[in-house]
Structure 1
């Protein structure tokens, strides 16, 4: 496209690492897109912004952020491989975001090219509104001609590619081309009564009527045109750009942008300035680079804009147009355009910049939840500080990555989209930052609770010269559930039902009568209970859903203090817990897998080895859908396993469902492992 528009003088190649897109060192080394790349080309009377995105679903965040600001999506299909899994995942996002989309079947010069099979597969996967505009006349080795059913002409390309000559469609192809043309005319006429009337009267539409009807149909996702080309041989890209220029909706043709407040914002340069940051990228010697779309108004160099989310002002010190790593400084950008700025202090991806006093905020991008997680093996203390700084920089660039410092697990966790996503993060940390980074199996955030009542007392007494420590606590613990009856054998003086930060509840009942323990020690006793609930007796996991009744005790006029009662309550809680038939709970996830029926048996067999409980099976399009509940403990590296089992032709998503009891034998093993670890620590 850039070469056709004369934005560049020579076409680069992936093998040579000379493409305008995929310009980072890591992309050159890996040979595929990892980041989205902003480019632009002038074509006829228009400027066309182009965002090249990765095709692998591990980097879906780059695609979603690009779709947010795009007015049309161009989905590339491979003429020899057909519709791939990644394409289907990205298609779902294009539909969800109401992005007009056209398909381009590339590599029709490949010896195994099968345009018709790819087209039929696209119709099967994406619906009857997928309509071919073109097809290759002589695909495979020697390809040089495309029959265009919209313009009813055959384009014949010279050996080196580039501008074709127009020739008449061969007689033997005329019926096929005419049928395709009529299908396009009907699709164009369907959305406009006046066009429909003209179509019925004349049996066709003129060029301007056809263009208008197709523009409306495309904008409403009622048609998904299909083109063909050989990008390698530069045959067909000019016609695609012509269609984008003539037919595809401009920013002004698109519906007003949705706002966080529920309202909308019209794309108009006369309105107040509003920009949306859809991507950030950290670059050596430059710092943080912000990619933005002007949704309304005009952005000029030197403008002061306001970020309502961070409540800070930002000065736009520089505005650039981009063709990959080549940037051209300009003075202003108008509504609908895309650009780059640098060195914003407190503005990140998904933030809106507008004039001070305006409450306008563009609706945020909603990114998918992570699908896999891993723990970082801690390096030296100095390296750990540098590592966390580097990871947080990547996290700011990539909203689909989540870094979690787990207090419970005492691990730093990375939550990512897939194993490749994780591997690329590791590669970047090691190559760019020079820090060795290793992953290890993450621990499981178990929960601990009890299944029956237990009670007892503990006396803490310590004398060490001067004032000592004394506190004696009588405590009953029992399983807590909503609506449970109040105790009948105690006089409840005060009760607190506390929502625990990690889930579940603690019901704390103060049942002391006669002043056996002064109420001033109640908080210390509760604190002692909470201290043990934060590091449970079984495996050091959080405890939940327990009712604690403090019903008796003793204190000393001199030696009693908060510390003494806190220690006493911790010790009796631990003792009671161990006598109350304790139960370990594990996180269970809802897992939804889409795969072909040919690999369904293998997927099911693998799930059975993971203690999965199958909830049901269904079909979704051409996929078989398996729904199961699976313990998180059995999900480690599932992304890699599923890819291996299905040769990459399956997809899955997961979501937390509930906590459920751990089987007795596994609980016993986990408790023994914890005790052994505790003893050797």
Structure 2
């Protein structure tokens, strides 16, 4: 295989809703380029992209698939991404390491929720977009109304390069208004017949050609001057204008294909090879120090690993992008993230489950390797005297959580190892062994995302698991000051145990003045701060611990034990066993015994005094509140709002975005537990949402009582 230079490489992501035909398009592209001799189908489970058992089980993509085609002396690296929002990690990864997005639109349905999500990600990452209307042979496809809908959503930047003469089962021809030719196909597709435009289509073709010329000219001052003079551009000038417009996202060319019949695919590949920007023409990436890294073949070698695949009989397949320099087979490189040395024994051009060995790859190229010792997704390997690291891929927050446990507890460790391995393949899976909740929590992008994990665990790893509702990480705090004391006394022969602690607790907020005086039951307690310790709690909030003991009532050497006793109760709050936060504790008096007092005695006395004072201090339970953004078609807005109000959500605002309504709300985490399932049910899968932790807020009184009663019942059971 030829070694391609940086200015001969183009990296492209295939995006779109589930069912838009990305995998089928990939098959046709591979077939047209001669990589495969026969096109497979999703139904027959023999495609290059969907080759994992779980994908064949469910019938659509779960992982992104990397492949390449050689076309007109160019190398097109293409990543076919899953369409389901549950597997958005593959699409986000692909967009970050490619330079061009091709977004497929199902000709029957037009822009769907997956289309909107894909476009939103391209906007965030400032990536060029080509829209590809697929399945033009379907019964209910209406190109004109679909194009009008796209312009309404994405604006006049949507400019057709082609339009179909007819849609539906008889689709077999398009007018290409860039080349001003008619392309038609036999029933088996493949190579088109190219003819002059028929007279009856000429007026429409000229009108759309003029719009394309104007859109191309708008991206270059020289071209614009020529357009004003002659109202036309040559094909090469139009290509140049479109290329510049792609880079600046000022034009979204629209193409037509029927990927299932291999109609229009060859012309699309010509455009990708001739017009889409090269790696060298795109904005430069930066390393973690903020330094711009150019895809310079002559520069120092740095490669970034963006994906790990686990394949039977092979193990880990590690996918990388050459960020700079030239990577040669047998190279010895340094792992900037892990400090280890690594030899890249072989490098391959990717073709789904197949790999083609190559001797070297230049800056901007994408490839894979196998049998690495210590490389994980997100690692950077460098040549000597180079210290680049990259951290440019940002994944969305999880939307769906479940506690997971092995049916056979003896397999828990094996299950954790498998979960860690799977997370290398899909970083949007988050696995946490929660000390607070005493559960293993798996977080993902949706119910189907976690169902897929369960299928793989049970079918691939042979470990039976079950999901249960995760506990909510509540917090406890107080709303007023209170006082308590506790004497711990125990005599069992020989030296006994004795410790007495008097303390005051009060709510704490940053910037509060030092305490001076308290009144309880008509008695005044004056505070003389001897020393203060501020503990930043790992679960959020603070504990401020003040020693105000005078006259030597408690020796200073027992203060650490008293603080430890308070911290033990902060870790398992008196109300629900949840973490407590934002409390100031003042130890102002106590007693000790010259023989029987020790650290344990004062720790136990402090723990009980704190519990008693906490319960008298207007204790409240706090619950995690999340910011929620729902993207929903306008006709479902009422149902979605009604459902949210039933979930104790507070609607913060509404806005329109790219043809969808954006609903902003604040919602308790407890109410988000099954929200992805409910939203899909309400909208027929046409809505999506994002969440982000916002704050802790007081739970309603009736829910607080339920939580306290539930904790008391569980505590009795444990006893």
Normalised by the length of structure 1, the TM-score is 0.98
Instruction: Tell me the distance in 2 between the aligned counterparts of 1:445 and 1:292.
Output: 38
Match in the other structure for 1:77: 105
370-379 vs 522-531, greater mean Cα deviation = 370-379
Give the superposition deviation at 1:262. Answer: 1.7
Map of 2:625 onto structure 1? 588
CA distance in 2: counterparts of 1:478 and 1:212, whole angstroms: 69
For 1:614, the equivalent position in structure 2 comes to: 651
Q: Who is 1:105 aligned against? A: 133
The separation in 1 between residues aligned to 2:690 and 2:499, in whole angstroms, is: 52
Match for residue 155 of structure 2? 127
572, 583, 593: which is aligned to 1:535? Answer: 572
Match of 1:555 in 2: 592
The equivalent of 1:94 in structure 2 is 122
Alpha-carbon distance in 1 for matches of 2:141, 2:58:
25
The answer to whether the Cα contact below 8 Å between 2:116 and 2:658 also exists between their aligned partners in 1 is: no
Partner of 1:312: 340
Q: In the alignment, what sits opposite 2:17? A: none
For structure 1, the residue ranges without an aligned partner over 5 or more in a row are none
Match of 1:487 among 516, 536, 542: 516
CA shift for structure 1 position 363:
4.1
**1:36 corresponding residue in structure 2:** 64
Q: Does 1:224 align with 2:249?
A: no
Q: Secondary structure at the match of 1:3?
A: helix
1:496 to 521, 527, 533: 533
Indicate whether 1:445 and 2:482 are aligned. no
Question: Relative contact order (alpha carbons < 8 A, sep ≥ 6): 1 or 2 greater?
Answer: 2
Please tell me whether residue 398 in structure 1 is matched to residue 398 in structure 2. Answer: no
Of 23, 29, 53, the match for 2:81: 53
Change (3 A) 1:255 1:483: closer
The 5-angstrom pairing of residues 330-409 of structure 1 reads 330-409=358-437
Where does structure 1 differ by over 4 angstroms across 4 or more consecutive aligned residues?
none
Q: Say whether the 8 Å CA contact 1:535–1:541 is kept in structure 2.
A: yes
Equivalent residue, structure 2, for 1:155: 183
Deviation at 1:491, TM superposition (A): 1.7
Q: Give CA deviations for 1:330-372 in whole Å, capped at 9, x if unaligned.
A: 2211111110012333322222221133122234201111112
Where does structure 2 lack aligned partners over 5 or more consecutive residues? 1-28, 518-525
How far apart are residue 378 of structure 1 and its match?
4.7
Partners of 1:57 and 1:90 within 8 A in 2: no
Structure 1 residue corresponding to 2:312, chosen from 284, 305, 314: 284
How far off its partner does 1:165 sit?
Answer: 1.1
Shift of 1:437: 1.5
Cα offset, 1:38, TM superposition: 0.9
Moved more, 412-421 or 520-529: 412-421
> In the aligned structure 2, how far is the partner of 1:48 from the partner of 1:263?
27
Equivalent residues of 1:612, 1:630 under 8 A apart = yes
Q: Is the 2:178–2:235 contact (alpha carbons within 8 Å) kept by the matching residues of 1?
A: no
Deviation track 1:549-585 (CA, whole Å, cap 9, x = no partner) reads 1111111222111111101111111111112221111
CA contact (8 A) 2:333 2:383 kept: yes
Match of 1:574 in 2: 611
The corresponding residue for 2:553 is 516
Shift of 1:328: 1.7
List per-residue Cα deviations over 1:257-288 (Å, max 9, x = no partner). Answer: 22222221111211111111111112223222
SS state at 1:306 partner? strand
Structure 1 distance, partners of 2:46, 2:268, is 23
Is this contact kept in 1: 2:406–2:463, CA < 8 A?
no
**Closer, same or farther in 2 for the Cα pair 1:40/1:511, shift >3 Å?**
same
Q: Distance in 2 between matches of 1:212 and 1:617?
A: 40
Q: Which of residues 401, 426, 435 in structure 1 aligns to 2:454? A: 426
**Residue number in structure 2 paired with 1:410:** 438
| Distance (Å, rounded) in 2 between the aligned partners of 1:396 and 1:466 | 58
Q: d(CA) in 1 for partners of 2:344 and 2:151?
A: 46
Question: What is residue 654 of structure 1 aligned with on the other side?
Answer: 691
SS in 2 for 1:456: strand
Judged with a 3 Å threshold, the aligned counterparts in structure 2 of structure 1 residues 198 and 483 are, in CA distance, closer, same or farther, namely closer
* 2:540 counterpart SS class: coil
Select 1:145's aligned residue among 173, 184, 195. Answer: 173
Q: Secondary structure of 1:611's partner?
A: coil
The structure 1 residue matched to 2:705, chosen from 668, 671, 676, is 668
Q: Deviations over 1:439-458 (max 9, x none)?
A: 11111111111122221221
- Pairing 1:636–2:664 present: no
Are the counterparts in 1 of residues 66 and 80 from structure 2 also a CA contact under 8 Å? yes
Q: How many residues align?
A: 681
Alpha-carbon deviation of 1:53? 0.7
> Contact 1:350 / 1:364 at 8 angstroms: preserved in 2?
no
- Of 342-351 and 560-569, the range deviating more from structure 2: 342-351
Contact 2:406 2:415 in 1 (8 A): no
Q: Which moved more, 1:24-33 or 1:306-315?
A: 306-315
**Structure-2 change in CA distance of 1:197 and 1:456 (3 Å):** closer
Q: Give how far 1:66 is off.
A: 0.7
Given that residues 279 and 290 in structure 1 are in contact (C-alpha distance below 8 angstroms), is that contact kept between their aligned partners in structure 2? yes
